Amino acid sequence: MTPPAVEPRKPAILTVDDDPAVSRAVTRDLRRHYGERYRIVRAESGADAIATLKELKLRGDAVAVIVSDYRMPQMSGIDFLEKAMDMYPLARRVLLTAYADVSAAIDAINVVDLDHYLQKPWDPPAEKLYPVIDDLLEKWHATGDRAMPYTKVIGHRYSDRSWEVRQFLARNGYSFRAVNAEEPKGQQLLEAAGLDDSRLPVVITEKGETLVEPTDVELATLLGLSTSPQLEMYDLAVIGGGPAGLAAAVYGASEGLKTVLIEKSSTGGQAGRSSKIENYLGFPRGVSGAELTTSARLQAEKFGAEVITTQEAGKLEVNGVGAAHSIQLNEDHTIGARAVILATGVDYRQLQITGCWDDPDDPGCNYIGRGVYYGASVSDNSECAGEDVYIVGGANSAGQAAMYMSQTAKSVTMLIRGSSLEAGMSQYLVDRILKTPNITVRTCTEVIDTTADDDHLTGLLLSDRRTGETETVTCDRMCCFIGATPRTDWLEEAGIARDDHGFVLSGPDVMKVSGWMLDRPPHHLETSVPGVFVAGDVRSESAKRVAAAVGEGSMAVMLVHRYLAEA
């Protein structure tokens, strides 16, 4: 999906006057002189002007100058400017007064921190209006508020759901800005939307539409993603939207198969979270995981593949050799497919220490999404600005996260159980890390406990595996990359053979552990169930590299064609 284009917006100059003739006159003069650089907005009452400011705030537009009449019914210019200050405190304020109101206007300077007052009439504007506005605009540009012409996600810093919403949008390539609900900007946006911080997160779109505590389905609808299958039967169903699944969808659809890809959250898998992949063939300057996988999704859709988001495969029903298999999805959807490719990928293994895992005996003690994260933790590296970040793990994904967050974090410390980075990481990445001044690598070190403040992580207890010595450190954010757990529990009922670690067996390995029911041997990537194939990290003994996953996804489609020709 292509992220929505964000066009530069002109800052607004707002005029408010209950006299239509005066209102038109000041708008005409402002537009004549400033119309090319600013958006001139007119209101004829204080209430209308407040409504206009709320709309501008929700849309993320900046307001540079507010010009208000003093004498207006229902709401005086002073009262209006007081309310306007709450939404746009940095906008410059001008009061229009008649000669008899000059003393009142002067007294009001202290009330609304007035920047200037003008007497009516202001003719000629070149002498009496434009020099004043020019000066105020210059001051506003030096210190003033800036537009936020993006979708805004307002949430608490230590809210797991707020983090999940940001991740969902970011991993689907959607432009947005994260706003802390406790900061003035967040409070202003909530007030403009008529909300408070009791129901978060809140998503305010670029057009000013508001989603309160949105579900993944609502977010997918916002992004224009499909959330339910269009057909009941497909030639090929691909389960999982990482590099292997995307490659399978591209090749399946391009070769004429009715193809559907099912992904529970966002396409890309673990690769989609990588800030920069520098050793993928054909990208000498590197490519972000999101860019690579978003392009792959667009490519699959271009060839006619149906990509379904927010659906998860929960059951695979095997209907016999040559018959279509049934896949049960959430929300009571069931689809049929003549062939299936399993590309569900893996989850990062959870640390079995306080607050770092889904402990059924203590569900309230969980800091996941509130300082503890598995995989990449930030949708924008500004989220970790000024923080002390610890990264647990020494593979490429951990190194890429360290490099990305080091751009804004106060410090990044990598904790490695082994004796060196080189054992599990590409050399080019090792060299980059060692040259980055705010990244520290601690080998032979592991996390054995956590410290917390109320509901979020504040520190770690570390142990030196060589000496046994322990140390408590301050930690704002811990990101874990400590091995893989395959997403295969749902396959047990279907009789899919797996190894001792839960990874799916295929090809010759199937013959060693299960009764193969056909005269022919299983195809190289075929599982113990004929017509069900596996590709990518979820396959036993796979290479765990993006290029390998892409290759297996495309190879699996070739084997699907052979299977369908035989059936």
- Per-residue pLDDT of 449-478, as tens digits, reads 999 987 789 999 999 999 999 999 999 999
The alpha carbon of 89 is separated from its chain's Cα centroid by a whole number of angstroms, namely 29
SS3 assignment, position 295: helix
- Per-residue pLDDT of 469-509, as tens digits, reads 999 999 999 999 988 889 899 998 898 999 999 999 999 99
Tokens of 57: 């705030």
Tokens of 26: 């000041």
- Structural contact between residues 337 and 292, judged by C-beta atoms closer than 8 angstroms: no
Side-chain half-sphere CA neighbours of 77 within 13 A = 28
CA atoms of 45 and 58, how far apart (whole Å) = 20
pLDDT over 70 at 108, yes or no = no
**Could you please report the per-residue DSSP string of 423-465?**
TTS-HHHHHHHHH-TTEEEE-SEEEEEEEEETTEEEEEEEEET
CATH 3.50.50.60 fits 233-347+485-566, yes or no: yes
CA atoms of 233 and 57, how far apart (whole Å) = 47
Residue extents of the structural domains in the chain: 12-143, 151-212, 233-347+485-566, 372-482
CA atoms of 62 and 215, how far apart (whole Å) = 29
* pLDDT for residue 360: 67
Percent of the chain predicted with pLDDT > 90:
53
CA atoms of 335 and 231, how far apart (whole Å) = 7
Per CATH, 233-347+485-566 and 372-482 having the same topology is answered yes
Confidence of residue 2 (pLDDT cuts 50, 70, 90): very low
SS3 assignment, position 244: helix
Q: Which of 163, 78, 116, 99 is nearest to 370 (CA)?
A: 163
Q: Which of 488, 499, 500, 477 is nearest to 532 (CA)?
A: 488
User: Once rounded to an integer, what is the mean pLDDT over residues 274-290?
Assistant: 81
- What is the average pLDDT score of the chain? 88
CA atoms of 426 and 500, how far apart (whole Å) = 28
- Per-residue pLDDT of 256-271, as tens digits, reads 999 999 998 888 777 7
User: Once rounded to an integer, what is the mean pLDDT over residues 137-166?
Assistant: 84
* pLDDT for residue 1: 42
CATH of domain 372-482: 3.50.50.60
pLDDT over 50 at 4, yes or no = no
Tokens of 8: 């530069």
Percent of the chain predicted with pLDDT > 70:
93
Q: Which of 219, 297, 262 is nearest to 490 (CA)?
A: 262
Among 137-151, 343-357, 427-441, the range scoring the smallest mean pLDDT is 137-151
* pLDDT for residue 97: 83
Confidence of residue 148 (pLDDT cuts 50, 70, 90): low
Residue 420, φ and ψ in degrees, nearest 5: -160, 160
- Per-residue pLDDT of 208-233, as tens digits, reads 889 999 999 999 999 889 999 999 99
Confidence of residue 47 (pLDDT cuts 50, 70, 90): very high
User: Once rounded to an integer, what is the mean pLDDT over residues 224-249?
Assistant: 95
- Give the count of beta carbons closer than 10 Å to the beta carbon of residue 510: 22
Confidence of residue 339 (pLDDT cuts 50, 70, 90): very high
Confidence of residue 171 (pLDDT cuts 50, 70, 90): confident
* pLDDT for residue 86: 83
Side-chain half-sphere CA neighbours of 79 within 13 A = 9
pLDDT over 90 at 192, yes or no = no
pLDDT over 50 at 203, yes or no = yes
Domain 12-143 classification at class level: alpha beta
Could you say which DSSP state residue 351 is in?
P
* pLDDT for residue 399: 92
pLDDT over 50 at 69, yes or no = yes
Q: What is the pTM of this model?
A: 0.78
CATH 3.30.1330.40 fits 151-212, yes or no: no
Residue 545's alpha-carbon distances to 141, 144, 499, 552, in angstroms, are 48, 47, 20, 11
In the numeric block, the tokens 């038109």 are attached to 24
